[in-house]
């Protein structure tokens, strides 16, 4: 199934654990709604009942035996449902969709972090998304150790429990992707205050929206 060209704007947020994505999705949602945009905020894995069920499997610390390939396929399965049930209908209705993670996370976490390689992972993205690509991706960059310290204050999920070198590979891959696709991916310094990060994101997003 090939994704139809959407009328709305699709913006994704990426970054390693504890970078502040969820907070910045809310900040941007409020900003855009104040300007009169219809906004749908969602997340991956998740966004639909099926995908949320898959999320619980993926993040459950008890699932220690989950293999990297199984993990990859579960993420893509959740994404396939998410795109078709939630994202595409909203875009086709002319809404602005904000997603806390999308396929770049799988490239970073499973392709680089797990060592599965980008080539096979990217092929699966195409199947799961039907070719849908974000109009804009914001990578909120923080050092992996800082992000983990933030993310695990109240406990840690299965992914957050990985060793620091895993998270360093993930961060490096996000930055590599940004260098490879500067027309789509913008990097924002996530070590700054919430307000400063939000202001930087608004500036980028407002520019993209005026060009649409």
Write the DSSP string, 95-138. Answer: -EEEEE--HHHHIIIIIIIS---HHHHHHHHHHHHTT---SEEE
Q: Which pLDDT belongs to residue 211?
A: 78
Q: Which pLDDT belongs to residue 6?
A: 53
| Tokens at 32, concatenated | 């855009």
Sheet holding 185-189, edge to edge: 39-43, 96-100, 9-14, 136-141, 185-189
* pTM > 0.85: yes
Angle at the Cα of 33 from the Cα atoms of 27 and 34, rounded to 5 degrees: 90
Q: Which pLDDT belongs to residue 128?
A: 98
- Going by C-alpha positions, the residue among 116, 105, 134 that lies closest to residue 8 is 134
Q: Which pLDDT belongs to residue 210?
A: 85
Answer whether 131's CB lies under 8 Å from 2's CB: yes
Strands 136-141 and 185-189, by their bridges, are: parallel
Q: Which pLDDT belongs to residue 2?
A: 47
Statement: 9-211 belongs to CATH 3.40.50.300: yes
210 burial via Cβ count (<10 Å: 0-12, 13-18, 19+)? exposed
pLDDT tens track of the chain, all 212 residues? 445 545 899 999 999 999 999 999 999 999 999 999 999 999 999 999 999 999 999 999 999 999 999 999 999 999 999 999 999 999 999 999 999 999 999 999 999 999 999 899 999 999 999 999 999 999 999 999 999 999 998 889 999 999 999 999 999 999 999 999 999 999 999 999 999 999 999 999 999 998 77
Q: Which pLDDT belongs to residue 5?
A: 44
Q: Which pLDDT belongs to residue 154?
A: 85
């Amino acid at each position: 199934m090939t994704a139809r060209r959407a009328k709305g704007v699709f913006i994704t947020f990426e970054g390693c654990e504890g970078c502040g994505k969820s907070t910045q999705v809310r900040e941007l949602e409020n900003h855009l709604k104040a300007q009169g945009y219809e906004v749908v905020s969602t997340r991956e894995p998740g966004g639909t009942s099926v995908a949320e069920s898959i999320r619980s499997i993926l993040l459950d610390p008890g699932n220690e035996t989950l293999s990297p390939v199984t993990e990859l396929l579960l993420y893509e399965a959740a994404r396939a449902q998410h795109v078709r049930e939630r994202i595409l209908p909203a875009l086709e209705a002319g809404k602005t969709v904000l997603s806390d993670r999308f396929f770049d996370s799988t490239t970073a976490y499973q392709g680089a972090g797990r060592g599965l390689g980008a080539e096979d992972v990217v092929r699966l993205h195409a199947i799961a998304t039907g070719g849908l690509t974000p109009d804009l991706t914001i990578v909120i960059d923080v050092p992996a150790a800082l992000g983990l310290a933030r993310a695990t204050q109240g406990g840690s999920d299965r992914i957050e429990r990985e060793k620091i070198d895993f998270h360093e590979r993930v961060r490096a891959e996000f930055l590599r992707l940004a260098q490879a696709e500067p027309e789509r991916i913008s990097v924002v310094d996530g070590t700054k205050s919430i307000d400063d990060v939000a202001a930087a994101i608004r500036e980028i997003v407002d520019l993209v929206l005026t060009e649409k």
